[in-house]
């Protein structure tokens, strides 16, 4: 994918702004094995991340440039990126949400102790673990988080 092909899906910015206003830290955790395998240039991925930072209220982007293997500590479904963010920002992962559209995202969230939300984008790969909930898109996931968090932590 090129930077010109990279786009933020409709409703994402508004959903993230709502979560940000509610006080949530917004951290992206992304596997980027194509850099390690030579299929993508690191500077292109970093330019995509710069675009995300410019257009979305993100607090951080954690990136794993490794290929999945026994020596990797960050490649999802391993929870390394989530654990690192937790240490750096004193995040209680048991009160956190992992939102993603791949089985690896659900697995990382489960291993870190987060509530897991699967965005069903119709990919053919099966889930290997059951998420706490499934949503059609990020706006629906954000609505779930806002409702669930207010029920768990009434103001």
Q: Average pLDDT, whole number, for the chain?
A: 94
Residue 133: pLDDT above 70? yes
Predicted confidence band of residue 151 (pLDDT cuts 50, 70, 90): low
Residue 20: pLDDT above 90? yes
Residue 13: pLDDT above 60? yes
CB 93 within 8 A of CB 82: yes
State both tokens at 41. Answer: 């240039």
pLDDT value, residue 59: 98
Residue 154: pLDDT above 50? no
Note the pLDDT tens digit of each residue in 37-87.
999 999 999 999 999 999 999 999 999 999 999 999 999 999 999 999 999
pLDDT value, residue 150: 67
Rounded alpha-carbon distances, angstroms, from residue 63 to 28, 45, 107, 109, 151: 8, 10, 17, 15, 32
Note the pLDDT tens digit of each residue in 138-150.
999 999 999 998 6
| Model pTM score | 0.93
The CATH number of the domain covering residues in 23-152: 3.40.50.1000
CB 77 within 8 A of CB 69: no
| Bridging pattern class, strands 97-100 and 115-119 | parallel
pLDDT value, residue 149: 86
Residue 1: pLDDT above 90? no
């Amino acid at each position: 994918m090129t930077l010109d092909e990279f786009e933020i899906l409709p409703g994402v910015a508004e959903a993230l702004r709502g979560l940000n206003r509610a006080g949530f830290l917004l951290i992206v955790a992304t596997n980027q094995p194509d850099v390690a395998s030579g299929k993508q240039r690191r500077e292109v991925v970093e330019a995509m991340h710069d675009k995300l930072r410019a257009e979305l209220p993100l607090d951080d982007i954690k990136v794993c440039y490794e290929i999945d293997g026994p020596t990797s500590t960050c490649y999802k479904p391993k929870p390394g990126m989530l654990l690192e963010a937790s240490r750096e920002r004193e995040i209680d992962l048991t009160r956190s949400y992992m939102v993603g559209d791949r089985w690896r995202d659900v697995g990382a969230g489960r291993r870190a102790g987060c509530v897991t939300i699967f965005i069903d984008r119709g990919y053919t790969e099966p889930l290997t673990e059951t998420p706490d909930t499934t949503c059609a898109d990020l706006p629906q996931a954000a609505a779930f988080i806002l409702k669930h968090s207010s029920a768990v932590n009434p103001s």
